Structure 1
Amino acid sequence: MNRLNKILARILVFLAAIVFFTGIAFSILRSKNKTKDTLPDNEKIFLNQAEFKSSSSQNNKAFTKIGKLRATTKPDKTGKTKIVLITPYIEYSDDQAFYEELDRNLKKMREIILNYFSERTAEELVKKNEEKINSELLEKLNSILILQKIQRLYFTDFLIL
């Protein structure tokens, strides 16, 4: 019985060591991925921007903070709705003040985009081409902005489910 207790104690110590070292490894890996939280406030804003290389000499930025959105379409004739998954991002000229305006209006921009898709049936959305949807959304988004206007709107995801 005493020998069995020693074996069980060794197994428990071994398992505790595995859990301990796994936790350390996980926390190290996690801390490498949390650079966003460890950056000073004035550097965090650039994590949601990407540079565009355009044909002009001007460098443009992409505002990617809107993130992935999920909207429900207007019910069709049979009463069925569809889910629209979209990930929009905005191209704009490199201007810190305008970036801050976009950031301040983030909630309004999300509402505008979600309302746009919820006011149309899936059939209506399919009939419109992407250019038409972009131009209509750009008009609505630019109506709330003061400093500049958004140059282009892109979707990395655009699915109607």
Structure 2
Amino acid sequence: MSDKVSLPPNHKRVISVTARLLEKELDDLENLILNDQHHLTKRIKKTLNPDQRKSIIEIIKKIRTENEEMFHKFDLDFEKLSEHQLMFGKVSYLITILSDSTSKGLKGYGALGQEESGILDNCMNDIISKFNDIESILTKETK
């Protein structure tokens, strides 16, 4: 690998984000190929043959290496986050989505019967309550 290349701060910031996004998307591509994709809410039909899978994984590995070399060559900045930040962000986002999916949040989509509203709200509120429990755990001091 050649010497480090100095980029202006704005360029360095953008390329740092590019490297992080590339890493994340490569993780997603690799996960798609290597892991079972049957979930409750989606099914992904396996359409790649074993040779295609192997070839793609090999290319992904090469791209990872190039991304790592670029990261070091330009002395890019890594993202500094804590588990708490990540968990709070995801939990808050999911609580918002769930709240918007209650009968009150869905009023703009048309009328919903009282019984259906009650059942829907109970489902959403039960899940929201569990996410609130996670928030409570996160706010307790760690030892």
For normalisation by structure 2, the TM-score amounts to 0.25
Say which structure, 1 or 2, has more relative contact order (CA 8 Å, 6+ apart).
2
Structure with the higher strand share, 1 or 2: 1
- Please tell me whether Structure 1 or Structure 2 has the larger radius of gyration of its CA atoms: 1
For normalisation by structure 1, the TM-score amounts to 0.23
Structure with the higher helix share, 1 or 2: 2
